[in-house]
Structures are given as structure tokens and as C-alpha cells.
A and B are shown apart, each in its own frame.
Chain A
């Protein structure tokens, strides 16, 4: 069963900590995405990657960075966590440049205290 796996389901971090959210997909997809989900705002794109070592900013990249050293892994980094980054984070992957549907992970609920 193909899937997108996010390393943590729940995470609690302190303000100012550096936080790593990991995402791994086993479908050999070129594209990977990080979204955050907040009530009333839907899903907002933080960063995405079309290939290894490539990254592009989404709609809300401030306070975040990403790393894609291998095709199957896409990491989201909060350089210095703040309380307004408390959210649900969803990773997704898709095949090629065509508008295929995305496959999503189960999400990581991050709380910054």
C-alpha cells in the first residue's frame, strides 16, 4: 500500500526551538509539498519541491525552510519555533508535472508552548 509517512503525529516544542518535521513517500513521486491547516483557513502551502535539492516558496514560507536531499524525503524546518506556528502540518506528494491528485500523510499536530 503506497503511502506518505510523517514521522510524528503529535509534537510539543518550546518557543525558540529548532523543529524538524519529516515526511517520506514510497511512490517515487517527483513532487512533494508542505501545507499547514488552520481552522477557517483551509490548507495553505508553505513550501514545495519538484525534484531533489529543488525547493520553491509557497504562500506562507516565512519562518520555515525545507530540505530535500533524497527523492523520497522532504523535511520542514522551523528555524525558531513560535506560538503562531502551532498548527496541523500536512505533507503531500504527487507524480510529475500533470495535475494528478495529491497523496497526503496523516499530519503532524504541532504545539509550540
Chain B
């Protein structure tokens, strides 16, 4: 079975704090892809990153960084020095052969960054 768990329903931080959003996935496939999307109040999901299962190198993009650990089936997302504009719902998603490469989403984490 394929499943994505985002245990944090809502997180509230003060601007400039660092925050980590957790994502745990389940799959039996050896080849799979993990994604993070951001959904701002406007509603449109915005693609942030895709990572394949053979690339465990962590990635940094500006204030965003991702930590992929196959040993714990986790793909966590950290925002450094958070800003009010980071307030959004963030979704982690999984795609693999078992799902015919359709995206399977977690339930999302709502991040509120207070000034």
C-alpha cells in the first residue's frame, strides 16, 4: 500500500523562526518519487520539489531545504528564517509504479507565520 502521513496538522511560528514540516511515506516500490507542494490562500498548489528514491542527497533552495532519509521513510521540509509569506498549507506527495504514478497526497500541514 502507498501512504503519506503528515502528522502535524497545524504549526504556528513567529517570523524568523526556523520550522520543519514532517513527512513520512509508505511504499513497497524501490523506485518512487516524492514531492512537496505549497498551497497559499489563493488556492493553487505550487510545485516546490521532486526527489527520486535513488537520490538521497539533501537539497537547499534559498531558505528552503529538504532532508530525504530512506532509512526512516521520511522527506522533511525545513524553512529557515520563516516569513509571513510562507504562511500556507504544505502537502507532501508520493508517486510510484504501484499507484500508476498518480500522486498520493498527505493530509497537509497548515503553517502560520506570525509577524
Contacts and interface: CB of A to CB of B under 8 A. Distances in A.
Interface of A: 9, 33, 35, 40-45, 48, 58, 88, 90, 92, 97-107, 109
B44 A101 contact: no
Nearest to A102: B103
A43 B90 CA distance: 12
Contact of A88 (B9, B43, B50): B43
Interface in B72-115: 91, 95-96, 101-103, 105-108
B64 interface: no
A92 B47 CA distance: 12
Name which of B45, B46, B101 has the most chain A CB atoms within 10 A of its CB: B45
Contacts of A40: 9, 107
Interface of B: 4, 6, 9, 33, 35, 37, 42-47, 50, 91, 95-96, 101-103, 105-108
Nearest to A108: B43
A48 B95 CA distance: 15
* List of 5 A-B pairs having minimum Cβ-Cβ separation, nearest first: A42-B107, A104-B45, A99-B95, A107-B43, A101-B47
Contacts of A58: 102
Given A42-B108, A106-B43, A107-B44, A97 B101 contact: yes
Contacts of A33: 102-103
B47 to A, nearest CB: 4
B108 to A, nearest CB: 5
